[in-house]
Structure 1
Amino acid sequence: MKEVDLVIRGARIVSPDQIIEASVAIAGEQIVAVGHDDTMPPAREEMRADGLYLLPGAIDSHVHFRDPGYPNKETWKTGSAAAAMGGVTTVFEMPNTNPATGTLEALRMKQKAAEASYCDFGIHGLLGDDTVDRLEELLDAGVTSFKAFVGNTFGNLPAPTDGALLEGFEKLAPLGIRTVVHAENSSILFRRQKKMQDAGRIDAMAHLAARPAVAEIEAIGRVLTLAEWTGARVHIAHHSAADSLFLLREAKRRGVDVTAETCPQYLLLNTDHMLKLGGVMRLNPPIREARHNQPLWDALMDGTLDMIATDHAPHAPEEKTRESIWDCDCGFPGVETQMPLMLTEVNRGRASLMDYVRWSSVAPAKAWGIYGPKGVIAPGAHADIAFVDMERAGILSQNKLQSISKISPWNGRPVKGYPLHTLLRGRFVMRDGKLVTDAVGWGRSVKTVQQMPTAKPRNTEHYSSAILETPPGVPRTAVPVGEVDWSAS
């Protein structure tokens, strides 16, 4: 039997369906065997993992690494280091950098920055009025997917018009490419915020008042209508409100190809925390009232919501602690704390480890077309593994974060359940709770393994590309009045 690089013995391997005791053999970047100890090949290195659980590395569909443009907030090196420390092996990075990832030049800048990544990555390109004609060339150059900022957020990118959003979906539907949507109604947000600013309201709760649940309901409904009409694949980012879940349930029932994420902050935090922490907790969509927390958990359990993401959105502490809520930047770091936060809830009996693997790895891998190489511990898959100790307890500390952003609403929160080691394509990027610094740059684009299922476009005869063509037998110019032969009718 051929010698392999590493055999891991004594662990429990977690999938969405079961937890089994087995050993894992790894050669190069891939898993080559999973089974009983006696069936493992000889190895150059053996590792005991007694008492630990092996999870497929987490896949975070929603991070902002701020590079290029905002190195004071984060870089690919620091953001991906945070991911590695959090058991996250693959991230999908958002386009609201500077410049925004809507041109080939901007994409090349981001790809250059990503050469310092500790984790594998996808890149969401920008879908907007100015980029809708460049979607195909961005895909050819390495973009894995797209993001449409239907709601305003950091970077103040203009929301795409409905016409551009429809046309973008028409172009992406036949390709099977999924678009992430920040679903809030910008018109509602801007109008309400201006009214409160004019009235002198600068308190933390004013941010929530400017972004009511109806803004999310309306935007999700609009996006799903366009997706259903075109057959486009869409993904609802950072779902925050109980009130809009019915739209997802109904759309899925009708067969719309929609996936949706929520984040630990919407599951575990509410306005009670906002009153205490103020601008630290300002993000988009906002932290909502406590009544929203449990319905989001229920939606994860029944499949209405597909996955956990973080919306890792780092800022400098001074940018989060200004007097006026309107002057506090939106977002906070999360990619490093997601796994211990969620494992703590597993320990509390709120979900199972199998549920967590489905939300953190399997569902995102399937949504972005990378399931098989990613999202599973099985022969042929990438050796992306989080080694988890469910008994390890600790206190989250913002000062210990790998992120440049040393400010977090989770600071001081007790947790139980930690990733101890993170393996990416057969190489440790975190070991014994410490970053493996010489693994910097080991991450690579998942574009090389991405394979989306067969596309199912709809109503193609009404696409913008179709209506520009004159149908056979129809004159290209209007027939002048008076030349119609009425006697022939």
Structure 2
Amino acid sequence: MAERFDRIVRGGLAVLPGETRVLDIGIRGGRIAALEDRLEAEDGTPVTDARGLWVLPGMVDVHVHFNEPGMGHWEGFATGSAALAAGGCTTYVDMPLNGLPPTVNVPALNAKAKLAEGVSSVDYAFWGGLVPGNLDDLEGLAAEGVPAFKAFLSNPGGEGEERFREVDDWTLLEGMKRIASFGGLLALHAESDAITAKLAGEAAKAGRAGPLDFAATRPVIAELEAVNRALLFAEQTGCRLHFVHISSPEGVELIDRAKRRGLDVTVETCPHYLTLSETDLARLGAVAKCAPPLRDADRIERMWEQLAEGKIDIVASDHSPCPAELKTAPGMSFMEAWGGIAGAQSSLELMLAEGYFRRGVPLPALSAMLSANPARRFGLYPRKGEIAVGFDADLALVDPEGAYRLQEEDLLQRHKISPYLGRTFPCRVVETLVRGRTVYERGRGIALPGRGERLRTEAGRKVTP
């Protein structure tokens, strides 16, 4: 007997937890209602023919910078979320910087939320921040549904009195105590400011200002020192930790050893640390500048080994855009250029290209790091992150034979800057569904602007990958 569905996605290779299988996906009320080899539907039910395509859970990108309010000319919710949708991402968590004011208190959070409402193409949540002076704001932010708090152990840069600030050790320790008291999660940009600032000062005095000079001012030891310090504080406070954009296999190993000691800690890396090396930094210039910097090719391969071993929990874009003049203004030295990589639209395709096609990492393993694990860690599970009955019908349809060369006109972000321009990808996202409705379609672009809804998490929810 035919069932009633709002839509059926027919005959794609679905990437499920631990397996792939050709099946039909029945969608009702924005959620996955059935997964069967063959579904019969009532007459008139819309059917998407996915035969020959991969159907993955939409990416859950927990690390993007859309910069509103105040800095929307760098990237805003409309353009940033459009780029994510075109890349198969259906949910994101927006960072507390570089907006002015940053989301370090409830009024600032509410101001940001108003700007995203009715504008974002995909679903979203907001980070809170831990900075000097906002300890009394943390619990209020958690009550408003932020899934986690971000802190910097090194200077995040930027200008203005309101800008996001790095934490001192006392604020870090006390912040961890407060966040642990209500079961929250703290994420850290882990670089030692004492090391990086000293090396940057010495480089400036010596007139060293090139790409590899910049990389030398932010060595792996700066990452390791900061990771070790934060892990010590976590052991003392019981605070749940997440390390963002870890760039070195040594850092991954430190965090993995802490997990095995029983600490509640996870590790994230980014596609650029798995696909671009310091050689690319020297070749591409400021478009590939980021902090921590790109590392050497041997470290990249070791991180792929760690990823295959299950030591890396999450892959997120760290989409950190800026206007072109902040990368390439006449007379600007490499040291002065903005440090951030704009790659949100390419994350899923990069991981499929470098992980599955080049190295044979199974699709379910890649999907877990891109979707299920971040959804679990940031309190969005069991609604987001998997193709399973009861979950939101957030789907990325990928043509595994859709090879193409990335061009500026393909990018939907505000500024058409990417270190991946000119790269040939072996596959391509052709359609993205959010809660069962098409928000992006290749050749058509954004089909439903403003479709995204804000997600709130329950303070103290303790879920891990």
TM-score, L = length of structure 2: 0.94
Q: CA deviation at 1:191?
A: 1.5
Q: Per-residue displacement from partner, 1:251-279 (whole Å, max 9, x unpaired)? A: 01011111111111111111111111121
Q: CA deviation at 1:423?
A: 0.4
Higher mean C-alpha deviation, range 139-148 or range 184-193: 139-148
The sequence identity of aligned pairs, in percent, is: 37
Matches of 2:197 and 2:276 in 1, distance apart?
Answer: 25
Identify which of 185, 199, 203 aligns with 2:210.
203
Deviating above 6 A after TM superposition, structure 1's stretches of 4 or more consecutive aligned residues are: none
Q: Secondary structure of the equivalent of 1:151?
A: coil
Aligned residue type for 2:252 = L
Identify which of 88, 98, 101 aligns with 2:100.
98
Q: CA deviation at 1:301?
A: 1.3
1:453 is aligned to 2:454: no
Aligned residue type for 2:199 = R
Q: Secondary structure of the equivalent of 1:66?
A: coil
Q: CA deviation at 1:452?
A: 2.3
Segments of structure 1 that go 5 or more residues without pairing to the other structure are 456-489
User: 2:219 corresponds to which residue?
Assistant: 212
Matches of 1:183 and 1:448 in 2, distance apart?
Answer: 25
Q: Is this contact kept in 1: 2:17–2:386, CA < 8 A? A: no
Q: CA deviation at 1:235?
A: 0.8
Matches of 1:264 and 1:168 in 2, distance apart?
Answer: 30
Cα 1:42/1:283, change in 2 over 3 Å: same
Identify which of 112, 115, 124 aligns with 2:114.
112
Identify which of 339, 342, 349 aligns with 1:340.
349
Q: Is this contact kept in 2: 1:368–1:450, CA < 8 A? A: no
Q: CA deviation at 1:152?
A: 2.2
Matches of 2:16 and 2:88 in 1, distance apart?
Answer: 16
Q: Per-residue displacement from partner, 1:306-343 (whole Å, max 9, x unpaired)? A: 11111101111121124311220011211101111111
Q: Secondary structure of the equivalent of 2:359?
A: coil
Identify which of 330, 334, 342 aligns with 2:339.
330
Matches of 2:40 and 2:380 in 1, distance apart?
Answer: 28
1:421 is aligned to 2:431: yes
Matches of 1:451 and 1:152 in 2, distance apart?
Answer: 29
Aligned residue type for 1:395 = R
User: 1:256 corresponds to which residue?
Assistant: 263
Aligned residue type for 1:101 = T
Aligned residue type for 2:364 = M
TM-score, L = length of structure 1: 0.89
Q: CA deviation at 1:242?
A: 2.1
Cα 1:412/1:454, change in 2 over 3 Å: closer
Q: Per-residue displacement from partner, 1:442-476 (whole Å, max 9, x unpaired)? A: 21122168882279xxxxxxxxxxxxxxxxxxxxx
Report matched runs for 1:46-445 at 5 Å.
Answer: 46-96=47-97, 97-115=99-117, 116-155=119-158, 157-322=164-329, 323-345=332-354, 346-437=356-447, 439-445=448-454
Q: Secondary structure of the equivalent of 2:46?
A: strand
Cα 1:281/1:436, change in 2 over 3 Å: closer
Cα 1:23/1:244, change in 2 over 3 Å: same
User: 1:470 corresponds to which residue?
Assistant: none
Matches of 1:54 and 1:229 in 2, distance apart?
Answer: 43
Aligned residue-pair number: 454
Higher mean C-alpha deviation, range 139-148 or range 328-337: 139-148
Higher mean C-alpha deviation, range 36-45 or range 388-397: 36-45
Q: Is this contact kept in 2: 1:85–1:434, CA < 8 A? A: no
Q: Per-residue displacement from partner, 1:397-427 (whole Å, max 9, x unpaired)? A: 2343111121111110111111111000111
Q: Per-residue displacement from partner, 1:340-365 (whole Å, max 9, x unpaired)? A: 11111212234121121111101111
RMSD over aligned Cα atoms: 1.8
Matches of 1:316 and 1:137 in 2, distance apart?
Answer: 34
Matches of 2:263 and 2:444 in 1, distance apart?
Answer: 43
Q: Is this contact kept in 2: 1:169–1:227, CA < 8 A? A: yes
Q: Is this contact kept in 2: 1:127–1:146, CA < 8 A? A: yes
Matches of 1:144 and 1:253 in 2, distance apart?
Answer: 24
Cα 1:298/1:454, change in 2 over 3 Å: closer
Q: Is this contact kept in 2: 1:12–1:53, CA < 8 A? A: yes
Aligned residue type for 1:206 = D
Segments of structure 2 that go 5 or more residues without pairing to the other structure are none
Q: Per-residue displacement from partner, 1:204-260 (whole Å, max 9, x unpaired)? A: 112111111011000011111111222211111101012222211210101111111
Q: Is this contact kept in 1: 2:322–2:338, CA < 8 A? A: yes
Matches of 1:170 and 1:330 in 2, distance apart?
Answer: 31
Q: Per-residue displacement from partner, 1:55-110 (whole Å, max 9, x unpaired)? A: 11001111001111212211111000001000000111111121111122211111
Matches of 1:163 and 1:430 in 2, distance apart?
Answer: 46
Q: Which has the larger radius of gyration?
A: 1
